[in-house]
C-alpha cells in the first residue's frame, strides 16, 4: 500500500524518487526532522529535488563535489513558503538518517519518517514551515500512533557528533506548541 500525502496535506505535491526501498517488518514509530539547503544557505534552488531524485549535477557548484554518487532521500521537504513536497511514500524506507540509533535501536530509517526543512542549522525557519510541519506531524501521528511527542527528534539526536540538524535555528517549543495545542 502506497501511503502518500493525498488526503494528509493540502497544497502538497509529489516528486517520486528512486532512493528508497521496502521497510523491514517494523512499525513506523519515529519522526526525524532534518534541514537542507543546496548550496548551503541558498533557498529556492532546484538542487534539493535533483539530489533526492538522483540527478544532481555535481559540477553545478563546488560544494556539490562531496555529493557525487550519494543516494539520499527524505519522505518530505517543506520549503521556505511552507509548501510540502513528498519524495517517498510513508510506508517505504527513505534513506535520510544514515548511521543512526534511537533508544538502543540502530538503523532509524527502518522505523522512521524523515522530514526535511529547507534551511540551515543556524538560520531561523519561517512561520509557514512551522505551520506546515505541525499540520503534517499531526496527520502522521494519526496514521502512525506510535509516533508520540517523545518520539519526534532531530537528526542530531539520532546521529550525535555526525549531524547537527535541524540546528539551533529550530524552535522546538514553538513547533510543539503548534502541534500539540
Q: Catalytic pick from 27, 40, 106, 116? A: 116
Extract the C-alpha cell encoding 99: 548511521
Give the three-class secondary structure for 47.
helix
Whole-angstrom distance between the N-terminal and C-terminal Cα of the chain? 31
Q: Specify whether 116 is catalytic.
A: yes
Q: Is residue 104 a contact partner of residue 33, using CB atoms and an 8 Å limit?
A: no
Q: Is residue 139 a contact partner of residue 9, using CB atoms and an 8 Å limit?
A: yes
Extract the C-alpha cell encoding 40: 548551503
Residues with catalytic function: 116
Amino acid at each position: 500500500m502506497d501511503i502518500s500525502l493525498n488526503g494528509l496535506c493540502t497544497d502538497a505535491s509529489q516528486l517520486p524518487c528512486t532512493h528508497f526501498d521496502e521497510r523491514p517488518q517494523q512499525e513506523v514509530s519515529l519522526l526525524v526532522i532534518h534541514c537542507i539547503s543546496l548550496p548551503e544557505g541558498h533557498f529556492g534552488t532546484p538542487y534539493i529535488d535533483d539530489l533526492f531524485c538522483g540527478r544532481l549535477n555535481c559540477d553545478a557548484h563546488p560544494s556539490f563535489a562531496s555529493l557525487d554518487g550519494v543516494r539520499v532521500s527524505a519522505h518530505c521537504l517543506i520549503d521556505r513558503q511552507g509548501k510540502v513536497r513528498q519524495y517517498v511514500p510513508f510506508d517505504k524506507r527513505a534513506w535520510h538518517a544514515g548511521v543512526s540509533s534511537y533508544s538502543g535501536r540502530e538503523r532509524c530509517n527502518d522505523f522512521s519518517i524523515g522530514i526535511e526543512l529547507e534551511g540551515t542549522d543556524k538560520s531561523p525557519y519561517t512561520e509557514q514551515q512551522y505551520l506546515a510541519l505541525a499540520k503534517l506531524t499531526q496527520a502522521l501521528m494519526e496514521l502512525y500512533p506510535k509516533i508520540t511527542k517523545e518520539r519526534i527528534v532531530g537528526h542530531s539526536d539520532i546521529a550525535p557528533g555526525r549531524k547537527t540538524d535541524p540546528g539551533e535555528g529550530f524552535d522546538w517549543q514553538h513547533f510543539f506548541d503548534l502541534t500539540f495545542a
